[in-house]
Amino acid sequence: MSKRWMMVAGALLLLCAAPSAVMAAAESMMTVTVGREVPHGTFSDLAESGSMAGLSAGYRVTRWLAAGVDFTYFRSTGTHDGADLDVLEPSTGRNVAVTLAENWTLTEMGLYAKAFFLERGRFSPYLRAGAGAYSIRYSQDVSLAAATTTLGGSEQASHFGASGGGGVRFRVVGGTSVGFEVLYHRVFASNVDVNLLTTGLTAAFGPTGN
Amino acid sequence: MNRYRMTCAAALMAVALTGAATVPAFAAGSGEPEGSVLKRGSQWMSVRAGYAKGSGEVAPDGAIGGGFGYRRFVLDRWAVGIFAQYDLLGKFGSAADISVPLTLEVTRHTRWGAGVYPYVGVGGGAFYNKLYRTGADQSGFKPGRYLTFGAQFPIKRQSMLGLDVRMAQVDKFDANPAFPGPPTDRHKLDDLLVDLQGPASPEMPLLFDDNEAKTQTLWSVKLEYSITY
């Protein structure tokens, strides 16, 4: 281990050994999350890894429990994106060579709860669970076409879903903190469930002094 | 805009303006400490009734709806509420479009002057939608989310009268003998989750000109009476 990493590890140990966190109940906070999403299960056959962004507003009900609302947006390309196809154009009855553009987007709005444990110094690890309404949208378009085509459109459906995972946050100063979060989302669709694993960096802002 | 809708809108505006004009006088004599109804721990029990409508290029004129709910202020000016409504979104002849939203919402309230308490918030929940007496009735629960805003006016001690506006987004039913909607032969997203598996080929499900939205906006504008404690 290099000297630099030894120093980083030492600093982290000192932070962990610091007195217990001073975070109190009645703390309110807005959190922004950006990161990656990876489809899992059957959905991984349909969508590639993509990006996600979220915004949540939460309130620390007790020293160990916080709850709030969140909105998250997920976007990824389909596994058929960029495929070259020779499709039968229904409006003319002729074959048209196209390059397919395929996208999946999900939006989620719901409630969540975080249970904090083993808080040391500025570090606050937590487990998180949530539930909400997910809107799934699938779209097809053409990025290249040899002739005019009506290929393109979108289908959409909303379903209930749930998420669970955990993370850690590091209080920087006052009511501002940064962190890392991993969540697993399951959307209860009719035929097959849609599963996503998300990893994100978080930045949280709240009134100083909470 | 037809005469019926104009009448409804005019009546609601008249009630709102009358309330805005007369309420501060009531509020002044209510003896309620200013803004105390927005303090943490404050609770509101509400009933509401008014206008409700579903969006669409071909949609029936809006009709009436009502509901009730409970709000609790978990922080100063921030409330969590739970509401149940029954909205008749419109009728074509005897066929009716009905929505029963069962929802949870978070609202941010504030106070303007002595007697106006506006708020804005978001919510979501289960919307039980029903197409009734259509010849091919459909019903079911769908997830929905909404934006809400409005204003409350104290009318006497521990009583508020206000106006609540809600814009909810929910999935549409497919076309029905009475109500228009996406064609029934259009792909369903839940089927695509199965049918799109496998390599790209001309035989895979392809969407040709499938651009009609599969969601609709449900509007409601309701008078709300709340008891605060």
Interchain pair A46, B75: CB under 8 A = no
CA distance A99 to A97: 7
pLDDT for the residue B21: 39
- What is residue B110's three-state secondary structure? coil
pLDDT of residue B121: 93
How high is the pLDDT of residue A4?
66
Three-class secondary structure of residue B129 per DSSP: strand
Q: Which residues fall within 8 angstroms of residue A167, CB to CB, at 6 or more apart?
A: A125, A126, A128, A179, A180, A181, A182, A202
The tokens of B177 are what?
A: 């003998």
Residue A16 lies in a domain: no
Instruction: Choose the weakest-confidence range: A106-110, B24-28, B191-195.
Output: B24-28
B209: left (phi over 0), alpha (psi -120 to 50) or beta: left
Q: Is B104 on the interface with A (CB under 8 A)?
A: yes
| CATH number for the domain whose boundaries are B3-228 | 2.40.160.20
Give the mean pLDDT of B2-22. 47
Report which DSSP code applies to A209. T
For residue A24, the model assigns a pLDDT of 54
d(CA A23, CA B82): 29
> Is the model more confident about A164 or about B35?
A164
Q: CB contact, 8 Å: B156 with chain A?
A: no
Q: Which of A85, A140, A157 sits opposite B190 (nearest CB)?
A: A157
How far apart CA A44 and CA A41 sit, in angstroms, is 6
Interchain contact A4–B (C-beta under 8 A): no
Per-residue confidence band for B9, with pLDDT thresholds at 50, 70 and 90: low
Q: Quote the CA–CA distance of B144 and B124 in Å, as a whole number.
A: 6
**To probe the interface with B, which of A30, A109, A150 has the most B CB atoms within 10 Å?**
A109
- Using a CB-CB cut-off of 8 Å, the residues of chain A touching B208 are 89-91, 150-153
Using only C-alpha atoms, what is the Rg of chain B? 21
A145 touches chain B (CB under 8 A): no
**CATH number of the domain that residue A156 is part of:** 2.40.160.20
Q: Is B201 on the interface with A (CB under 8 A)?
A: yes
Q: Is the pLDDT of residue B175 over 70?
A: yes
The reported pLDDT for the residue numbered A210 is 39
The verdict on a CB contact (< 8 Å) between B196 and A80 is: yes
Q: Do A150 and B208 touch (CB under 8 A)?
A: yes
Is the CB of B189 less than 8 angstroms away from the CB of A136? yes
pLDDT tens per residue across span B141-174: 999 999 999 999 999 888 999 999 999 999 988 8
Q: What percent of chain B has pLDDT over 90?
A: 47
CA angle B74, B75, B80 (to 5 degrees): 40
| Chain A touched by B196 (CB under 8 Å) | yes
Per the structure, how many domains does chain A have? 1
Show which of residues 110-139 on chain A sit within 8 Å of chain B, judged by CB atoms: 110-111, 132-139
Position with higher pLDDT, B122 vs B174? B122
**What residue ranges of chain A have pLDDT lower than 70?**
1-26, 208-210
CA A22 to centroid of chain Cα atoms: 29
Q: Does A7 map to a domain?
A: no
Closest CA to A14 of A167, A120, A126: A120
User: What confidence tens digit (pLDDT) does each residue in A177-194 have?
Assistant: 999 999 999 999 988 889
Interface contact B203, partner A, CB < 8 A: no
Percentage, residues of chain B above pLDDT 70: 85
Residue A3 phi/psi, 5° resolution? -60, -40
Tell me how close the Cα of B187 comes to any Cα of chain A, in angstroms: 7
pLDDT: which is higher, A160 or B9 = A160
Q: Check residue B62 and report its DSSP letter.
A: P
Residue A110 falls inside a structural domain: yes
Q: Which of A73, A81, A102, A135 to mutate to test the interface with B (most CBs of B within 10 A)?
A: A135
Alpha-carbon dihedral of residues B14, B16, B19, B20, nearest 10 degrees? -110
Q: Is residue B130's pLDDT more than 80?
A: yes
pLDDT attached to residue B135: 85
> Running DSSP on this structure, what letter comes out for residue B178?
S
**Full residue range of the structural domain in which residue A196 is found:** 26-205
Q: Give domain status of residue A155, yes or no.
A: yes
So what's the pLDDT on residue A7? 63
CB contact under 8 A, A132 and B192: no
Give chain B's mean pLDDT.
84
Whole-angstrom distance, CA of residue B50 vs CA of residue B66: 6
B219 pLDDT exceeds 70? Answer: yes
pLDDT digit string, tens, across residues A47-83: 999 999 999 998 888 889 999 999 999 999 999 999 9
Stretch B97-103: mean pLDDT, rounded?
Answer: 94
